[in-house]
Amino acid sequence: MTDYARRTALGLIASTLVVAIAAPAAAQINIEIGQPAPIVEVVPPSPHPGWHWVPGHYAWRGRWVWLKGHYVAFEVPPMPAAIVETQPAYPGPHWFWVRGHYVWEGRNWAWHKGVWVRR
């Protein structure tokens, strides 16, 4: 390869890298409506022997709502670790991401998937 060809090839590679680096990436704005800080609850004495405490927690009901802790007559498993979700593409202005979360339903913790909500 001649010196001219080598310099031309290096110049083309360098200019391609500059264009690739300078090209703007598609902007994605993720605005999340996070849960407020947990409310500290004082656990009252059990109303009956063998009853178990369901801890208070937040649930999304068009806004974050605190569901107070309460006793139930059966064993309560601990709340599982949060599931790591892949966030779908941002739908556009005025949309906010509500992260998935567990909610006590009936006799167990139920996962509510994350969703985009329009505001």
CB within 8 Å of 100: residues ≥ 6 apart = 82, 83, 85, 111, 112, 113, 114
The pLDDT, as a whole number, for residue 85 is 95
pLDDT tens by residue, 62-72: 999 999 999 99
pLDDT tens by residue, 58-109: 999 999 999 999 999 999 999 999 999 999 999 999 999 999 999 999 999 9
**Residue 114's Cα: distance from chain center in Å?**
6
pLDDT tens by residue, 7-60: 555 454 544 433 334 444 556 566 888 899 999 999 999 999 999 999 999 999
**Secondary-structure breakdown of the chain: helix, strand, coil percentages, each rounded to the nearest 5:** 15, 30, 55
pLDDT tens by residue, 12-23: 454 443 333 444
The pLDDT, as a whole number, for residue 28 is 59
